[in-house]
Amino acid sequence: MLVMIVDDSTAMRLIVKKTLRGAGFEDLEFVEASDGVQAFEAIQKSVPDIVLCDWNMPNMTGMQLLEKLNEAEIDVDFGFVTTESTAPMRELAREAGAKFLIAKPFTTESFEQILSPYLG
């Protein structure tokens, strides 16, 4: 299963990968992007099985990326891993078509619980 991790923090991308492995998800391959622009370019070439995306990033935010994917009618399981976890932001994410929102900082348990339907 191909997992795309989109975050402008190199360390956070590593932590997300480590947490996925810690949650027991196996046979994962990863592709990384540091903003929405990079992610959209990569997705146009090869659509991953799932996108785990930060919200606030330079050049193109996670929400803008999701809107571009919707406009381009690219069907991919998309969710946020972000500090933007207030109820209004969760509602915005849901309305835009995000499948889930994992709040930073996260735990192995939260990854396991929220991502099992997609990666289990």
Q: Given the rule CB under 8 A, which residues bind another protein?
A: 9-12, 14-15, 56, 83-89, 103-107
Q: Which is nearer to another protein, 79 or 82 (CB)?
A: 82
CB of 100 to another protein, least distance (A): 17
Q: Which is nearer to another protein, 19 or 39 (CB)?
A: 19
CB-based contacts of 53, cutoff 8 Å, min separation 6: 4, 5, 6, 7, 36, 39, 62, 65, 66, 78, 79, 80, 81, 82
Q: Which is nearer to another protein, 34 or 40 (CB)?
A: 34
